[in-house]
Amino acid sequence: MSVQTGDTKSVRPFTGKKALLWFLGFFAVIFAVNFTMVYMAIGSFPGLEVASSYKVSQRYNEEIAQARAQEELGWQVDVSANRTNDSVLHIKVNALDKYGTKLNGETVDVKLNRLSDKSHDKHLVLAETSPGIYEGVIPEVANGLWYLHLSFQNSNDEVVFRSRNKLLFKADNQE
């Protein structure tokens, strides 16, 4: 005697063929996502930041000493960077020593870098327009994130002051 239940739905068995298709489909999705991520990473990586990390690490103590010397100077350096509608960046630096005296006769070097694309990097030496005021203009500065590296050099071409400033420029219609 056989007993039948009220459930008469046809259930397809889970066969080896179906298991293989699920297995291959799962790994196909993983492969596609990995391929996409690798493609995006390679396309956005500009290359090596430094040629030798070891050599850079050997200058670590020098970097600390330079930062301490800069702090002892007590300079007050204000940077303003304003971009016009035609993508021209106007940079103005106001520099005072720790006594409030305007710094003059310094060489002020500006490097404008984009981490995403080194081919757009820009360099400028600012002109001293009046004592303690250094100004310059960089044309064709596109929207996006930029880093403004500012350095003051003495008469021996030694860097005595450095700063790194983050700038974000958006299109006029964005908020």
- What is the homologous superfamily of the domain 75-169 according to CATH? Macroglobulin (MG2) domain (2.60.40.1930)
CB 147 within 8 A of CB 166: yes
Q: Cα(119)–Cα(46) distance, rounded to whole angstroms?
A: 9
User: Beta strands of the chain (E only): which ranges?
Assistant: 76-83, 89-96, 107-113, 122-130, 133-138, 144-153, 159-169
Q: Cα(142)–Cα(89) distance, rounded to whole angstroms?
A: 10
CA pseudo-torsion sign 63, 67, 72, 77: positive
Least confident of 2-6, 81-85, 160-164: 2-6
Residue 48 pLDDT class (50, 70, 90 cuts): low
CA end-to-end distance (rounded Å), the chain: 77
Cα Rg of the chain (Å, integer): 30
Least confident of 42-51, 100-109, 111-120, 153-162: 42-51
Would you kindly state where each structural domain of the chain is located, as residue ranges? 75-169
- What percent of the chain lies above the pLDDT cut of 90? 26
Q: What's the whole-model pTM score?
A: 0.63
Residue 155 pLDDT class (50, 70, 90 cuts): confident
pLDDT in tens, 109-147: 999 998 777 888 899 999 989 998 999 999 988 888 889
